């Protein structure tokens, strides 16, 4: 019976496979096999036994159902896996399974293998999303729209700037995730409390060789666990990515408000239903889902941080939490990345409404331009600010176009000719270096 929506509603199959029980078992078996191989090469266990363990360290031989059966009896999941592997090994090879190591050598190293697969998928999708944003930035480099600060009309910008800004943020997340991967995807074969006492003088050689076999960097030092600051950083990085997707979603949803109507997510008018009672509705459900699920990913960071201060060499409070945290955060982030890629690719910019909204405040958005022009012509910046501010307040109160009010002000018109005043209210010529900025972002991020 499915309980969590990940089981039946959210997440891609490729990401779910990484975090399902079968793959978790497979990764732990791979670690056991790598340990046996390293110990066989170093003469700690018989080579024949090591080879047999390596051959059988696979879910082809060790079945999940059998591991669970043993666990129900002995109440220890890792020892259940060890027993299940040992019993399928021929001869006395089973006696050398899990030789000189402890449970978290297996669990933490296996999780690193899962993290490695996860990050590779996430990086690919972040690159894909970045490219979709860059395409939109290029397409709308000259699509002039109103910029908003504090939810109020400010001065003109372009939709190219918005898309380029988001793409740049995604690039930073790509960089963060790559850096995090170096610290997170590490191996550990250090035994109880991290001293390698059970393996004696060859403990460090085993520790390093296992990392080499698995393609992971051995930790410099541990106690009985890989330290959870690494995992906290990973969860925080996932949350940062999710919050950027949330930010994009909030903007799209706001711009899809009926009164604004500048953006609209994909909607199939032939089949899609917007409401069970209001037949006309076209809701931004994709970006709403992105925003909603981002909250879960963000919330998981707190529990991940609480796993950092374990008691002395370790306790078990992190284990149960991490069974939920890692799979949930990875699957949900992958899911909302997929939604974001498709959502941005299919996003529609309604240029008629964009133009309408530019005119909404009757020229007030050009007040800065007027002020700066007057300042450059000799009025002085502070005086120009006050004179124009006074005119904007009058235009606002009388619901008139700012240009008309300015034309009636003798002090202002001493500095401006009529044709200059007209030119100041051409929105398309007051976007500064926006197109060049966008071009530069595209060039840098595609480099």
- Residue 121 makes CB contacts below 8 A (sequence gap 6+) with 14, 15, 18, 334
CA distances from 381 to 368, 369, 389, 399, 429 (A): 11, 12, 12, 26, 21
Respond yes or no: is residue 275 known to be catalytic: yes
Q: How far apart are CA 219 and CA 207, in angstroms?
A: 9
User: Which one of 150, 276, 320, 399 is the catalytic residue?
Assistant: 150
Q: Is 116 exposed, middle or buried (0-12, 13-18, 19+ CB in 10 A)?
A: middle
Q: How far apart are CA 90 and CA 323, in angstroms?
A: 33
User: Which one of 76, 98, 153, 275 is the catalytic residue?
Assistant: 275
Respond yes or no: is residue 140 known to be catalytic: no
* Residue 364: CB atoms within 10 Å: 18
Q: How far apart are CA 4 and CA 19, in angstroms?
A: 14
CA proximity to 166, closest of 354, 445, 447, 443: 445
Q: How far apart are CA 81 and CA 426, in angstroms?
A: 72
**Vertex 70: Cα angle to 66 and 72 (nearest 5):** 115
- Residue 232 makes CB contacts below 8 A (sequence gap 6+) with 301, 304, 305, 307, 308
Q: How far apart are CA 53 and CA 88, in angstroms?
A: 9
* Residue 5: CB atoms within 10 Å: 12
DSSP state of 224: S
Q: How far apart are CA 198 and CA 348, in angstroms?
A: 63
Q: Which residues are catalytic?
A: 150, 275
């Amino acid at each position: 019976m499915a309980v969590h929506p990940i089981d039946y509603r959210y997440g891609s199959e490729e990401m779910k496979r990484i975090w399902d029980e079968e793959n978790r078992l497979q990764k732990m078996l791979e670690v056991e096999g790598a340990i046996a191989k390293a110990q066989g090469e170093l003469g700690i266990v018989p080579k024949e036994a090591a080879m047999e363990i390596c051959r059988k360290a696979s879910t082809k031989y060790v079945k999940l159902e059998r591991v669970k059966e043993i666990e129900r009896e002995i109440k220890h999941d890792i020892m259940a896996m060890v027993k299940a592997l040992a019993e399928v090994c021929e001869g006395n090879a089973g006696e050398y399974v899990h030789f000189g190591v402890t449970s978290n050598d297996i669990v933490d190293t296996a999780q690193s293998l899962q993290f490695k697969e996860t990050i590779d998928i996430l990086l690919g999708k972040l690159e894909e999303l970045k490219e979709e944003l860059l395409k939109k930035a290029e397409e709308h480099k000259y699509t002039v729209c109103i910029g908003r600060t504090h939810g109020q009309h400010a001065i003109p910008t372009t939709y190219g700037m918005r898309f380029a800004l988001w793409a740049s943020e995604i690039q930073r997340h790509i960089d963060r995730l790559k850096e995090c991967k170096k610290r997170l995807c590490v191996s550990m074969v250090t035994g109880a409390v991290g001293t390698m006492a059970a393996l004696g003088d060859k403990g460090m050689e085993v520790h390093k060789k296992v990392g080499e076999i698995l393609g992971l960097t051995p930790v410099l030092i541990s106690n009985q666990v890989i330290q959870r600051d690494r995992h906290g950083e990973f969860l925080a990085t996932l949350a940062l990515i999710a919050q950027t997707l949330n930010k994009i979603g909030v903007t799209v949803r706001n711009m899809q408000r009926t009164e604004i109507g500048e953006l609209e997510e994909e909607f199939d008018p032939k089949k899609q239903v917007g409401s069970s009672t209001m037949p006309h509705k076209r809701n931004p459900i994709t970006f709403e889902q992105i925003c909603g699920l981002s909250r879960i990913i963000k919330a998981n960071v707190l529990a991940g941080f609480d796993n950092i201060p374990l008691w002395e060499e370790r306790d078990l409070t992190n284990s149960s939490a991490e069974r939920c945290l890692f799979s949930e955060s990875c699957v949900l982030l992958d899911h909302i990345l997929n939604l974001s890629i498709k959502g941005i690719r299919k996003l529609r910019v309604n240029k008629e409404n964009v133009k309408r909204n530019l005119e909404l405040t009757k020229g007030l958005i050009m007040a800065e331009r007027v002020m700066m022009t007057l300042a450059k012509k000799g009025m002085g910046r502070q005086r120009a600010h006050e004179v124009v501010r006074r005119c904007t307040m009058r235009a606002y109160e009388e619901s008139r176009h700012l240009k008309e009010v300015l034309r009636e002000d003798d002090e202002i018109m001493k500095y401006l000719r009529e044709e200059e005043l007209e030119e100041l209210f051409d929105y398309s010529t007051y976007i500064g270096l926006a197109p060049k900025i966008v071009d530069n972002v595209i060039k840098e991020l595609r480099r």
